[in-house]
């Protein structure tokens, strides 16, 4: 007996694919709408502007003659109002389209993480709208100390700074600093009152006696803490005259004085 074998070669094909609405098919070589595809061939999809893919970006013709996945959809890019912990969207809408922007604010004691607005994108809101708690680390005050002492401070917390002898708190608003969204205001710092000729290296303000004479009595009473400073070559400035006392001197000798003023110095 003799046997003869015959082999029938079958080419596996996949049916033509239609591009999704608001999208297109991307592949190497030419593409025709009624084109069949061979086993292993792959095609990619892209969406038009303002749309994004829902489904696989690439599918291929399988050994069974079926496509590996369904044709994806191109859906319009939209964003819903975000939920912001410790904050909220200003004038929210039901839906936002791509590149539309929102403004949001944060509750008291919180601040924006990066910025106060966000843009609707294919990947959601960018940057992500987020409110974080306002905190300040304990300041480093060289040549001084402060109270109260905490491991962390929150917005509106206040510290009182005490500088060492020969140093002065670098501020005209007293000796306190407050924790704010922008950090400690003013910056807690003790500066050395170092004499250089007739100049004290501290923050000063100059006021002539004639200018002071034009101030009302009520203004003088409210600023009793302002004192003149006599500078000595080898000593730190010594507070010697109050504003009201110097007013008497101006009346007596009629001269205009120009001396540095240091406020709230003890």
- Among 116-125, 183-192, 216-225, the range scoring the smallest mean pLDDT is 216-225
Sign of the torsion formed by the C-alpha atoms of 241, 245, 250 and 253 = negative
* Total length of the chain: 266
Bridge partners, residue 239, by sequence: 229
Alpha-carbon distance of 159 to 184, in angstroms, equals 9
Domain 135-192 grouped into CATH 2.40.37.10: no
Q: Is the pTM of this model over 0.75?
A: no
Q: 78-133 and 135-192 share one CATH topology?
A: yes
> From 3.30.70.920, 2.10.70.10, 2.60.40.10, 3.40.50.1170, which CATH number describes the 13-76 domain?
2.10.70.10
Strand ranges (E), 6-123: 13-14, 23-26, 37-38, 42-47, 51-54, 58-60, 73-76, 78-79, 87-89, 96-97, 101-106, 110-112, 117-121
- The residue among 3 and 88 whose pLDDT is bigger is 88
Q: What's the pLDDT at 253? A: 44
| Percentage of residues of the chain with pLDDT beyond 90 | 56
SS3 content of the chain, % helix, strand, coil (to 5): 10, 40, 50
pLDDT computed for residue 4 by the predictor: 56
Mean pLDDT, residues 45-71 taken together = 93
Q: What angle do CA 72, 75, 77 make, to 5 degrees?
A: 135
Nearest alpha-carbon partner for 68 in 17, 20, 24: 17
CA atoms within 13 A on the CB side of 6: 1
Mean pLDDT on 24-39 = 82
DSSP 8-class letter at 85: T
Q: What is the pLDDT of residue 9?
A: 55
CATH class of 78-133: mainly beta
Q: Identify the band that residue 103 occupies on the pLDDT scale cut at 50, 70 and 90.
A: very high
Query: What rounded mean pLDDT belongs to the chain?
Result: 77
In 3D, which of 67, 9, 58, 17 has the Cα closest to residue 39? 67
- Confidence (pLDDT) at 230: 38
The model's confidence at residue 134, banded by pLDDT at 50, 70 and 90, is very high
Contact 135, 150 (CB under 8 A): no
Contact criterion met (CB below 8 Å) for 137 and 152: yes
Segments making up each domain of the chain, as ranges: 13-76, 78-133, 135-192, 195-263
- List pLDDT tens digits, range 143-193: 999 999 999 999 999 999 999 988 999 888 789 999 999 999 999 999 987
* pLDDT at residue 120 is higher than 50: yes
């Amino acid at each position: 007996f003799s046997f003869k074998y015959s082999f029938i070669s079958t080419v596996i094909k996949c049916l033509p694919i239609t591009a999704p609405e608001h999208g297109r098919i991307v592949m190497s070589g030419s593409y025709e709408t009624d084109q069949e595809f061979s086993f292993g061939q792959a095609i990619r999809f892209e969406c038009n502007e303002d749309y994004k893919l829902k489904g696989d970006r690439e599918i291929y013709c399988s050994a069974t003659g079926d496509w590996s996945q369904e044709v994806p959809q191109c859906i319009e890019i939209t964003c819903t109002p975000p939920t912001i912990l410790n904050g909220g969207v200003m004038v929210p809408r039901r839906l936002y389209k791509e590149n539309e922007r929102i403004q949001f604010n944060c509750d008291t004691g919180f601040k924006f993480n990066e910025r106060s607005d966000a843009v609707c994108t294919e990947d959601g809101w960018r940057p992500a709208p987020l409110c974080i708690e306002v905190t300040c680390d304990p300041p480093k005050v060289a040549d001084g100390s402060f109270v109260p002492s905490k491991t962390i401070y929150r917005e509106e917390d206040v510290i009182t700074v005490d500088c060492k002898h020969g140093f002065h708190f670098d501020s005209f608003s007293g000796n306190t600093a407050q924790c704010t969204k922008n950090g400690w205001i003013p910056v807690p710092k003790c500066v050395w009152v170092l004499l250089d000729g007739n100049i004290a290296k501290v923050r000063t303000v100059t006021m002539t006696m004639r200018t002071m004479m034009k101030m009302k009595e009520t203004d003088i009473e409210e600023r009793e803490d302002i004192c003149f400073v006599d500078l000595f070559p080898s000593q730190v400035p010594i507070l010697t005259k109050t504003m009201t006392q110097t007013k008497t001197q101006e009346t007596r000798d009629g001269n205009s004085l120009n001396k540095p003023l240091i406020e709230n110095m003890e």
